[in-house]
Amino acid sequence: MQFYTIKLKDGSQRELPAGSTAADLAAAISSRLAKEAVLAKVNGVVQDLSTSLPDGAQVEILTIDSPDALDAMRHTASHVMAQAVCRLFPGTKLAIGPSVKDGFYYDFAMTESLKPEDLPRIEEEMRKIVAEKLPLEREVLPREQAIEFFRKRGENFKVELIEDLPEDAPISSYRQGEFIDLCAGPHLPHTGYLKALRLLSLAGAYWRGDERRPMLQRVYGTVFFKQSELEEHLRLIEEAKKRDHRKLGRELELFSIEDEGPGFPFYLPNGMVVRNELEQFWREQHRRAGYQEIRTPIILNRELWERSGHWDHYQENMYFTKIDENDYAIKPMNCPGAMLVYRNKLRSYKDLPLRLAELGLVHRHEKSGVLHGMMRVRAFTQDDSHVFMTLDQIESELANRIDLVDHFYQTFGFSYHVELSTRPENSMGSDEAWEMAENALQKVLEEKQVPYSINPGDGAFYGPKIDFHLTDCLGRSWQCATIQLDFQMPEKFELYYIGEDGGRHTPVTVHSVAFGAIERFLAILIEHYAGAFPLWLAPVQVKVLPITDRAHAYAQEVYKELFDAGIRVELDDRSEKIGLKIREAQLAKIPYMLVIGDREAEAKVVAVRQREHGDQGTRALPELIAELQKMIAERQMD
């Protein structure tokens, strides 16, 4: 009999008969592990326990509480949900049902429309399937046999998926009871492991994301190892609903999205205050870092976009127009305009590094189904910077940019993690240039001791990049800042500088954003702060609230002194009860309320109420103004 050597996580080895499965390995280790095993990681890839182990494989047996098992558990839950839907709604046709971050979903084609009240019914049927402990059994079929099998069942979406697979790809499906689904796996051994599950919501989704294809019904759900983890997740969902920037944007009168311009946001006066403060902060920090601000046109001709590569690599995301019978495009990115600014005069090595920055309005064609408040729009302002430099300036400029981004996020109270995104499939340029660019980014991150992970194939088509993913107060991750190193575009635009040797040399460019997009960053801030902006960002920083008509004259004086001191202030002199005025100011998320009655007017003081901490006692107005000005100037986080 032939034996294979299997390497275990602890460095030990096991000899097993050829053809042994991961389940056999678990049993060989211990009877307890055989009972608790649910999956195996084979050479770094999570697999079913029924997977045959190759000779020399590195294997780790996974139990139900292993972090690597969570994704497979959610994938299994999507199959259980699909089985439940098919039981309750005969004639349902299956599309796709993957696991996703924090849960799973499945897309269905159905003759009747699902309603929110159907979710408890589906969930109850899922619990019956869980109680049945149905084994999930993998089957592999020849390509034509698999096509015929699913075609006979009327599963045309599955047939299309199989036909799109490579000719030599194995066609696998999973069976649990009467339910069979096309799937690559892996899955848990049986349905009984799904204890802490919940269906969450309904949505519509086009088949394969194409608005020309059928509209399907999508059901979202989640599942966790423990009930306590599920309950905490549901709590965070409810908190996220309260913080939804679309809801708060409407209530706080920050922005609106109108039917006449889907995806094109309207800034309201309060929203413009916040935006202007963000832009002022951006300008101050970039000026201190040695950047010069520019502005480039929104519409430029086709030849420019062909030269930049956008015409070939990004056309489906662009808007077009004709001027004098010639093709023009509305810019989806600011980069090509910055190249023309560099090119408008002869440059010397003494001019480098040349740091240019732009708050540029760009337009991108987004499908209507993905538009989402200010998070995903069709018109937005990118805070682009472009640094043109020599080869020996690359590392210092990258390091400076990382420091600038770090300062931005610290100012707003965000933590973050970093990813190095490498060469994508649709890239342009030589292997040598890409290797040089990726090595430079990696070296700077390591020298600055910035922890990072590799995100393979997610770089821009013209260069690799460092992506900053900030974490908000609910633990959600948002990709905002990016730093891209580009050897391609300066060459395409025939940019050069006169070197110390008197010859022509091509500069290297670093493209970067700190906010990413003003609109999206604003949406993140709204949700992070729950609309309660820190003092320096708040649209109204102080509300003056007189209690009696007799206090109105002094309240007017207080208002004027605050206004003259540059503080954004409003006076509520309505003949309403003070409790109502305070409650409305609290709902408007105003940081400071100054309550003025007869005693305050007589003593020439103000009673201070702070948004988070309530009554703060009485203060002399000049002292309070000085304190507020200091907090605003230092952009304190309250």
Active site members: 335, 364, 382, 384, 386, 465, 511
Report d(CA 582, CA 546) in Å as an integer: 11
Beta-bridged to residue 320, according to DSSP, are: 329
Supply the DSSP string of 154-215, one letter for each residue.
T-HHHHHHHHHS-TT--EEEEEETTEEEE------SBGGG--EEEEEEEEEEEGGG-TTSPE
Tell me the three state secondary structure of residue 517: coil
Token pair in block for residue 116: 């929110």
Side-chain half-sphere of 170: how many Cα atoms within 13 Å?
Answer: 8
Secondary structure (H, E, C), 525-570: HHHHHCCCCCCCCCCCCEEEEECCHHHHHHHHHHHHHHHHCCCCEE
Is the omega angle on the peptide bond into residue 67 within 30 degrees of 0, that is, cis? no
Tokens linked to 478: 């948002």
DSSP labels, 431-463? HHHHHHHHHHHHHHHHHTT--EEEETT-SBTTB
Do the Cβ atoms of 471 and 429 come closer than 8 Å? no
Single out the residue of 270, 243, 241 nearest to residue 254, CA to CA: 270
Those residues with Cβ within 8 angstroms of residue 250's Cβ, 6 or more apart along the chain or in another chain: 256
**Tokens in use for 203?**
């949505």
Q: For residue 353, is the peptide bond before it cis, meaning its omega torsion is within 30 degrees of 0? A: yes
Q: Distances from the Cα of 48 to the Cαs of 24, 105, 186, in angstroms?
A: 12, 21, 5
- Token pair for 77: 């839950």
Q: How is the beta sheet containing 179-182 ordered, strand by strand?
A: 137-141, 171-176, 179-182
As a whole number of angstroms, the distance between CA 383 and CA 483 comes to: 12
Tokens of 64: 């139900």
